[in-house]
Amino acid sequence: MRVSVLGVGFDNLTMDQAVDRAHGIMKKGGYIVTPNPEIVLMSRKDKDFKDILNGADMVIPDGIGIIYGAKILGSSLNRVTGIDLACEIMKRLAEKNGRVYLLGAKPKVAEAAAENLKNTFSGIVIAGTSDGYFEDSEPILKKIRDSRPDLLIVCLGAPKQEKWIHSNRDKLPPCLMMGLGGALDIYAGNLKRAPERWRKHGFEWLYRLITQPSRIWRMLRLPVFLLLVILERLKEAKKTVGV
C-alpha cells in the first residue's frame, strides 16, 4: 500500500527496507524515483510523468515537504532521501564489487564523482560515465549495455531523467536505475550538502536556498504544494462529514 500525496504514491520504508528492496529490484531490473514537492507539482500537469512516477518499482519521499504533506493528509512517511539511499545501495554493492554507471551533469562532473565514489566505497567498480548533455541516446545506451552495470544513476533533472529511464529501460540489460537530480554534482564535490544537523531538522531546503539563491523561484513552489495539500485535506474532511 502506497501513501498518496497529491496523486503520487509513496512507499513508506525505513532505509534498511529500502536498501533490501533496491537490491531485489536490481536483480530483475527496474527503477526508483525520488519525488520532492516540486516534482509532485510537475506531475499534476503532466499525466505521462505521473504514470511514470507511480509505475516505479519504488517511490521514496525526497524532501521534508513530502513528509509534512503526508502528515497533513493523515499518513506518516519515513524520509529516505535519494542521495542517501544511493550511498547505502553502493555501500552494499561495494562488498561484491558491484558495477555502477554514472550518467548526467556537465562534462567532467561524472568522472570527478566516480573518483570520489571509488574512494568512499572501496570495492565499487565504476562501469562507465557520460555527461548529461547529449542529443542522441543510442551511443550512450550502447556504452551502458557494454559496461553491464548493476546500478545506473541518471542525473538529468526532473522530469527528463525519469522520462529517459522509462523510455530506455527495455533497451538495457536488467539493472537498478535511479533518477537522482543534482546528486552527481554533490558526489563530485561541486555542490555541498547541508550539514547533518540541518538535514536532521528538515532544513536542507533552507541551506540550498542560502547556497544557491537562484533556486528561489523553484523553492517558492513549496508553499504552493503545502497549500494544495491543505485544500486536499479539507476536501476529504468535507466528504467524510457528508457536506
Tell me which stretch binds ligand UDP (CB under 6 A): 13-21, 103-111, 195-203, 220-228: 103-111
Distance from C-alpha of 162 to C-alpha of 49, rounded to nearest angstrom: 8
Determine contact, residues 149/165, Cβ cutoff 8 Å.
Answer: no
156 sits near ligand UDP (criterion: CB under 6 A): yes
105 sits near ligand UDP (criterion: CB under 6 A): yes
Distance from C-alpha of 69 to C-alpha of 49, rounded to nearest angstrom: 20
**Which residues, other chains included, contact 150 with Cβ-Cβ below 8 Å and sequence gap of 6+?**
26, 93, 98, 99, 100, 175, 176
Kindly identify the residues of this chain, within the stretch 51-70, that bind ligand UDP according to CB under 6 A.
Answer: none
Determine contact, residues 203/67, Cβ cutoff 8 Å.
Answer: no
Q: How many chain residues interact with ligand UDP (CB under 6 A)?
A: 14
- Closest approach, Cβ 105 to ligand UDP, in A, equals 4
Q: Which of 157, 193, 209, 226 binds ligand UDP (CB under 6 A)?
A: 157
Q: Give the residue from 101, 100, 94 showing the smallest Cα distance to 124.
A: 94
Distance from C-alpha of 201 to C-alpha of 214, rounded to nearest angstrom: 23
- Closest approach, Cβ 97 to ligand UDP, in A, equals 27
Kindly identify the residues of this chain, within the stretch 202-231, that bind ligand UDP according to CB under 6 A.
Answer: none
Q: Which of 104, 128, 149, 159 binds ligand UDP (CB under 6 A)?
A: 104
Q: Which of 61, 69, 98, 132 binds ligand UDP (CB under 6 A)?
A: 132
Question: Cell numbers at residue 121, please?
Answer: 566505497
- Residue closest to ligand UDP when measured from CB atoms: 132
Q: Which is nearer to ligand UDP, 64 or 105 (CB)?
A: 105
* Percent helix / strand / coil, the chain, rounded to 5: 55, 15, 30
Beta bridge partners of 24: none
Distance from C-alpha of 220 to C-alpha of 223, rounded to nearest angstrom: 6
236 sits near ligand UDP (criterion: CB under 6 A): no
The 8-class DSSP code of residue 195 comes to P
Q: Which of 155, 165, 175, 178 binds ligand UDP (CB under 6 A)?
A: 155
Question: Cell numbers at residue 23, please?
Answer: 537490491
- Closest approach, Cβ 219 to ligand UDP, in A, equals 10
86 sits near ligand UDP (criterion: CB under 6 A): no
Given the rule CB under 6 A, which residues bind ligand UDP?
104-106, 132-133, 155-158, 160, 181-182, 184-185
